[in-house]
Structure 1
Amino acid sequence: MPEGSPTPWSYFLIRLLFKFVLKIFYGTIVVENAHLIPKRGEPCIVSANHSNSLTDALILVASIPWKSRNLLRLTAKSTQFGKKTFTSWLIESAGTVPLQRRKDYPDGRVDNSQVMKYLIEALELGDAVCLFPEGMSRYHPTIAPLKTGVARLVSDVLSRNRDKPDFEISVVTCSITYMHRQHFRSDVLVTFHAPMKFTPRTNPELLSPVDYSNIRSLTAKMHQQISAGTLDAPSWRLVRNAKLAAKIYAPVGTEMSLGDYVRLVRTFLDAFKVAESSVNGGSGGNTSAPQQILSGSDGEAQIREGDGASRERREEEDKKIVRLSDDLKDYQDQLSRLGIKDDRIRKPLPRIIMLYRLIVRLIWAMTLFTISLPGLLLWIPIFITTFIAVRKFKRTGPIWDTFDEIAQYKLVYGLISGLCVWFSITLLTLPFAIFTFFGIPVLMWMSLRWMEDSVSAFRAFVSLWRLLWVGKKRLVEMQKVRKDLYGRVRELAVETLGLPEDPEKHFVEAGHGKEKGRVRGRWAFGAKYFSVRRRRKRDWNETLRLYDKVDYPEDY
């Protein structure tokens, strides 16, 4: 069996660099089903959705265990190569292969024959190759129609090895879900799906000359797997509504893993998509009933059909779901205008308790900010550099052509400025460099950790303060609206989608709740705010901002 290409030292260093900068920028990167990735030496194509430009490739490189694969051959648009930029150097140093795109050339003529030949040879050596079959990075929440390049590559490899009937190549699809792709200290879910295995003996339909319908069929299967593991929606509005529905059904504090949370949101999202498509006269795929996505024992998304019903009953049910979606939007709009959280409406507090909590939250926020201040002074140059770079980049094009690259710019400029700060302080303290060289990163990391909790406490303070100024009459009205929404969401969840009646109990018993706290072990859990590893969050949508991130730019 082939052993795969040797790992160049540059790739090893680049991978460490990727893991380091990603752990700083994103709060948590949860990887599911990494054990499904074929072992080193087994030809493998990793295909994922592509919504975050270069960051998607970095995520995959950092997520695949080193013991499984020593090298992941990346691909990127050819326009990223040959530039005197740090990004271009990163791409080339990682052994990335340039792919030409028609949209990048005025005459639309491209020639990727040599690239495909190189990828085929790499697969025959037992390498893992990474391809993004959407063919482009996109900001819109809908997964673009997949190109047939992966399926054609499989066909070419099998055809070249038709004299080896047991030669096996695998296609591993992967779903990458960013809670907020470009925001500092957000969270990421990476879900690998069961590999599709192909051999010349078992898949003669893929041997040349191949019927193109078989290529399209394989591409469609890949699209279905990738879409089933992430939030694939026709609009940001539906994503927003589905997240609110999930929060109402399983309120803040429910102990669930990030994977369970994404699948829960996806369950409501599918229901809203199917219903809206049916009401608007679209095909919407299977409109016989909303689909349910539950967490299986192996972490894979499982799809189960709802009960059949008459056409009239289905149409009425779809209209109810669409009305619920619209009412969720109106409710979230009210919360956003008032600057308060749904959790504050769910659990109304007496004014004396709110005043007490205001004082506690403010003191705690000030305490954490004070102890983090020395390290935050070192972060200021990084934040300023990144802010200026991103602001200039946004001016270079429309939202749909720039928003998918914001995280990439933040990562690169944050890394460069961070390294400059680190080495500058080390040089300025040369007599004590042996201490500052190691002490500065530790100080900056712990300051960031404490700053996150300080911001979280201050965000709670602001929410309570605004809640005090909302009139009692308005609060009573919103509580009535929320109570009505809760009943309708619960009816949809339990009776239509078949979700558990007690989500808190269900997710705890599922055994994934420990991931919610981000820290493991008794000592780490007890340390909470002072854990060196990760901070605890109560809401997977949380980022390092003074306000909750619940809104999205207009749909494009």
Structure 2
Amino acid sequence: MPTPGTPTPYSYILIRLLFRFVLKIFYGSIVVEGTNNIPKTGRPCIVCANHSNSLTDALLLVTSIPPKDRNMLRLTAKATQFGHRTFTSWLIESAGTVPIRRKKDYADGSADNTQVMEKLMETLELGDAICLFPEGMSRYHPTIAPLKTGVARIISDVLTRNRNNPDFEISLLNCSVTYMHRQHFRSDVLVTFHPPMTFSPKTHPELLDASGTNYDAIRSLTAQMHDQISSGTIDSPSWDLVRVGKLAARIYAPLGTRMTLGDHVRVVRAFLEAFKAAEDNHDVDGDHHEEEKTPAEAAEFAQLRLDLMTYGDQLARWGIKDDRIRRRTLPRYIILSRMLVRFTWALCLFSISLPGLVLWIPVFLTTFYAVHNFKKSGPIFDTWDEIAQYKLIYGLMSGLAVWFGVSIVTFPFTVLTFLLVPALMWMTLRWLEDAVSAFRAFTALVRLLLVGKPTLRSMHERREGLHARVMRLAVQTLGLPDDPESYFARHGGREKGRVRGRWESGARYFSIKRRRKRDWNETLRLYDIVDYPKEE
């Protein structure tokens, strides 16, 4: 029987509400899948996820789990985050977070977590949910690190402690978190909760640790966790492969295809797995027991990957999207007329954004200065996974300072400005997004003129050849639909950023909630982000 669970602390409720608001401002769309898989409050549950964005991952999980399903999620964090007179430290401690000592942080060998593990098990026995990141560290590299066996050992220990309770059950809820661009303002995030694994002493006797010899069962469970978590996100051995997978997905399902963020990530992952399998000479799903690829097939995939990289490099040098090459070459007068429309629209939107931008400038400057200094503190692989965290916290603090500062300065109209300031800042952000998008389209049209028709025709022919090869791989090998534009418009649930039909598409463009996204790769930048850090 489910237990009531630990009452939710008021500080936790405040943090959940506050950062739900902040995350929705920082990220353009946060799409959550599989909330029906979340075990209800009172059922012991361990929530595990991939860990690529430091504290932001934990905040995202806290705000993505509906309070009606779980009243709270007890977090864990490295012990070095505790005991400081900083907002981050207060935030972590106020949420009831449990400190974990990492061996690499304690060279003197004092990294003893015995009492911590005891507390976590007691928490589970009360019917609470705890959050663990089994990679054991936050990382910026695109591949998921080998999972530690700690989660499986906790499950084994809890089952062993309750072996005489026939009704005791514990659930393992694995979650995949995919950031399109984890540290960039107004990019998108996908959170996927997978079907939970349920364990009891009766159904999983192999996990009962009577003699300390259940190593095979522990390793097997850890491998299952890795497979489930990696199946819902973009897991790549290199940034180059991520780039190629995204380009292949864009050629397969071109710009404007009405597909959900979840569908987009799964299509990218399908191509990514194909190229990974070609590298390893395994089957597309990476299963060693399946029939291996023939040398000819592996060579074909390798050549396609190389050709896609060359094509993508050319697009990046010109600053042009694949969609511009896909379409027929436009006459010069049409390009000029569209340039006029895009520039005029961008100018109008920038103009009406100016009053609100005065309020945003302190926020932008504060976060830029903080992140600029933080980047100097270490190499990419050790710092870039915390950039979003810094932007969120410094943006929150500076935004609150602007809000309350303007409210005080405008006395005796404080009550009015207290309501108007956040509304104006939000609408400014919406107008600014549309203005940046329009100006980005204007610059792309300028580049089309500079490139010239002969070169564009040559690139179009190359693109046609790549499209035929990508479609053959998608349909014949990966089993993807042969008409993606029609298929994804008909299938999949409605979600943020997804629209049906021309009327709704046009109306959503002017929505005050969020802008209509035609490209899940968008951020609030004057240029498209297509490159990634150099391999180290």
Question: TM-score when scaled to structure 2?
Answer: 0.96
Count how many residue pairs are aligned between Structure 1 and Structure 2. Answer: 532
Which amino acid in structure 2 is aligned with residue 455 of structure 1?
A: V
Determine if contact 2:259/2:498 at 8 Å carries over to the other structure.
no
Larger displacement relative to structure 2 (47-56 or 109-118): 109-118
Distance 1:519 1:3 in 2: 40
Q: Aligned match of 2:285 in 266, 282, 291?
A: 291
CA contact (8 A) 2:46 2:129 kept: yes
Structure 2 residue 428 is matched with structure 1 residue 447: yes
For residues 509 and 251 of structure 1, the distance between their equivalents in structure 2, rounded to whole angstroms, comes to 16
1:499 alignment partner AA: L
8 Å contact kept, 1:518–1:534: no
SS in 2 for 1:517: coil
Q: Show the counterpart of 2:158.
A: 157
For residues 200 and 159 of structure 1, the distance between their equivalents in structure 2, rounded to whole angstroms, comes to 7
Matches within 5 A, 1:230-379: 230-278=233-281, 287=282, 289-291=283-285, 314-347=294-327, 348-379=329-360
Are 2:82 and 1:101 equivalent residues in the alignment?
Answer: no
- State whether structure 2 residue 222 is matched by structure 1 residue 219: yes
- Per the alignment, residue 25 of structure 1 pairs with 26
Contact 2:258 2:500 in 1 (8 A): no
Asked whether the equivalents of residues 516 and 537 of structure 1 are also in contact (C-alpha less than 8 Å), the reply is: no
- Per-residue CA deviation, residues 325-380 of structure 1 (Å, 9 max, x unaligned), is 11111111011111111111111322111111100000110111111111111000
- 1:509, distance to aligned residue in structure 2 (A): 1.7
| Structure 1 counterpart SS, 2:177 | strand
**CA offset digits 1:464-520 (Å, max 9, x no partner):** 0011011322212211211111111011111111111100111122133x4363579
* Aligned partners of 1:36 and 1:193 also within 8 Å: yes
Aligned to 1:502: 483
Contact 2:29–2:496 (CA under 8 A) maintained in structure 1:
no
Residue in 2 aligned with 1:413? 394
Kindly indicate whether residue 411 of structure 2 is the aligned counterpart of residue 430 of structure 1.
yes
Query: 1:547 maps to which residue?
Result: 527
Q: Secondary structure at the match of 2:428?
A: helix
Q: Is the CA contact 2:117–2:154 (under 8 Å) kept in the aligned structure 1?
A: yes
Q: In structure 1, the residue corresponding to 2:257 is in which secondary structure? A: coil
Matched residues in 1 for 2:400 and 2:370: separation?
16
Match of 1:321, as an amino acid?
F
Range that drifts further, 94-103 or 314-323: 314-323
What's 1:183 paired with? Answer: 184
| 1:72-98 CA-partner distances (Å, limit 9, x unpaired) | 000000000011111111111111000
Residues 1:177 and 1:204: Cα distance change in structure 2 (over 3 Å)? same
Please report how far the alpha carbon of residue 108 of structure 1 lies from its aligned counterpart in structure 2 after TM superposition. 4.0
Quote the offset at 1:521 in angstroms: 12
Q: Aligned partners of 2:440 and 2:127: how far apart in 1?
A: 51
Secondary structure, counterpart of 1:175 in structure 2: strand
Q: Distance in 2 between matches of 1:480 and 1:89?
A: 58
Task: Report the counterpart of residue 511 of structure 1 in structure 2.
Answer: 492
| 3-state secondary structure, aligned to 2:512 | coil
Contact 1:155 1:206 in 2 (8 A): yes
Aligned partner letter, 1:268:
F
Which residue is 1:63 aligned to?
64
* Contact 1:97 1:115 (8 Å CA) reproduced: yes
| Residues 524/8 of structure 1: CA separation in 2 closer, same or farther (3 Å cut) | farther
Contact map agreement 1:290 1:306 (CA 8 A) in 2: no
Q: Quick one: structure 1 residues 443 and 197, their matched pair in 2 at CA, closer, same or farther if it must change by over 3 Å?
A: same
CA distance in 2, matches of 1:505, 1:521: 12
Residues 410, 231 of structure 1: alpha-carbon distance in 2 compared, 3 angstrom cutoff: same
Alignment partner, residue 469 of structure 1: 450
> 1:141–1:232: 8 Å Cα contact kept in structure 2?
yes
* Deviation by residue 1:381-405 (Cα, 9 ceiling, x = unmatched): 0000000000000000011100100
Structure 1's 197 and 98: CA in aligned 2 closer, same or farther, altered over 3 A? same
CA distance in 1, matches of 2:5, 2:451: 64
| Residue 402 of structure 1: aligned partner | 383
| Cα distance change on mapping 1:146 and 1:307 into 2, 3 Å | closer
Instruction: Letter of the 1:488 partner, please give it.
Output: R
Counterpart code for 1:459: R
Structure 1, unpaired ranges of 5+: 279-286, 293-304
CA distance, structure 1, for counterparts of residue 498 and residue 74 of structure 2: 31
Residue 421 of structure 1 aligns to which amino acid in structure 2?
V
User: Which letter does structure 1 place at the counterpart of 2:285?
Assistant: Q
- Paired residue type of 2:94: S
Letter in 1 for 2:390: Y
Moved more, 65-74 or 531-540: 531-540
1:172–1:192 Cα contact (<8 Å) kept: yes
1:176 is paired with a residue whose SS is strand
CA–CA distance in structure 2, aligned partners of residues 350 and 130 of structure 1:
57
2 CA distance for matches of 1:484 and 1:413?
A: 48
CA distance in 2, matches of 1:522, 1:112: 57
Verify the 8 A CA contact 2:489 2:500 in the aligned structure 1.
no
Report SS of the residue matched to 1:189.
Answer: strand
| Alignment RMSD | 1.8
8 Å contact from structure 1 (residues 306, 496) kept in 2: no
What amino acid does structure 2 have at the position aligned with 1:291?
Answer: D
Secondary structure at the aligned position of 2:412 is classed as helix
Contact 1:256 1:516 in 2 (8 A): no
How many angstroms apart in 2 are the aligned matches of 1:369 and 1:165?
Answer: 65
Question: Aligned to 2:131, what secondary structure does the other structure show?
Answer: strand
Distance of 2:237 and 2:290 partners within structure 1: 25
Pairing 1:480–2:461 present: yes
Superposed CA offset, 1:389-436 (max 9, x none): 000000000111001000000000000000000000000111111111
Distance 2:249 2:289 in 1: 22
Cα deviation for residue 232 of structure 1 reads 0.4
Q: Which position in structure 2 is the counterpart of 1:532?
A: 512
1:77–1:100 Cα contact (<8 Å) kept: yes
Q: Give, in whole Å, the separation in 1 of the partners of 2:448 and 2:402.
A: 41
Structure 2 equivalent of residue 128 of structure 1: 129
The residue identity in structure 1 corresponding to 2:380 is I
Q: Secondary structure at the match of 2:415?
A: helix
State percent identity of aligned pairs.
67
- The amino acid across from 2:247 in the alignment is L
Instruction: Check the 8 A contact 1:26/1:188 in 2, yes or no.
Output: yes
